[in-house]
A and B are shown apart, each in its own frame.
Chain A
Amino acid sequence: MATPENRRAHWRANLRLLSTLLILWAFVSFGCGIFFADALDQIRIGGFKLGFWMGQQGSIYVFVGIIAYYVWRMNKLDRQYDVHED
């Protein structure tokens, strides 16, 4: 049964997951891609400067990864707290 306690616990777990992932989201885009890009440009990987690469491609790969992890993790949480759809 999806008891009110379960629902609250599910919501808290959800919020924890969201804040972790949103911090990562802000870190790779605003952090690596914009604010620290110049510093990261000192590091080179092949023909890429790291800061430039994060702004143009790297952050997008991380975004896809964030959503993938979120989908997987939320489906697990739904079951764990018994609030999943039938």
Chain B
Amino acid sequence: MRYPVVRALLAGAVVILAEIAISQQLPNGAQPASQSTTPDQRAAATRTFLGLGPEPDKVAAARGAPLYQQNCAFCHGPQARGATGASLITSDEVLKDDHGEHLAEFLKMGRPEKGMPAFATMPEDQLKDIAEFVHVQVEEVANRGAYHVLNILVGNEERGREYVSSHCVSCHAPGAFAHIGSRFRLPEQLQRGWIWPIRSTNESLALTATVKTPEGATLTGRVTQISDFRITLIDHTGQTHIVDRTPGVQVEMQDPLAAHHQIIQSLTNEDMHNVTAYLETLQ
């Protein structure tokens, strides 16, 4: 049903869910952390986007790790980021190599003129394992799609419980948070989830609107689209209404998460950490 109506004032809160674009110009923000992709898929997609070349062999790298630490770390640092010797992360010799085909030869020769010994007697497969270890170090720096957050449970549980008691019970019934910690796979998902619950999986959190047309019709329903020029609603019978926002059309939005929006504006890092630590205990 399409109402021939005119432009309207927007009353009430308009909410835009915008993903962050913190990266220089990544299409979907710096860290595509969509719930629907696995970490490996994310890493692979970012590797492709960045043009990072072939994926390092992690099994070979694990074999190469002790060899690297024993033979190379003293000069180049434990993560190849440099010490008395250069960082290998941006080394030409490393970056022109895919799987040791160049680096193994280079390591056999060394760079005696710069004080780097030759590894002439080390078996070829071990040299290649060292090469893979270095490639994994490059990957861990350059492929931000492969990053993972550390243990974010750094808060004080008791203070978190106090915050919840004083800030959340005016809206949420006692016991509302029972077992909340078990509903999230990872603490960072819990942290996001309590600050800004996911609307798409909970219909009671949907944005709704009341639209009044100049002809006197009133429509109420879940909003599926809104712009300056049009609003689309699904009413309680499941019928979709598309209304042109021409003059005289009034739109009033209702957001069940308005209080959470307010919380985000002033939430301190300490309170965030404390509440997450507390809710994580509610398994």
Q: Do A and B bind each other?
A: no
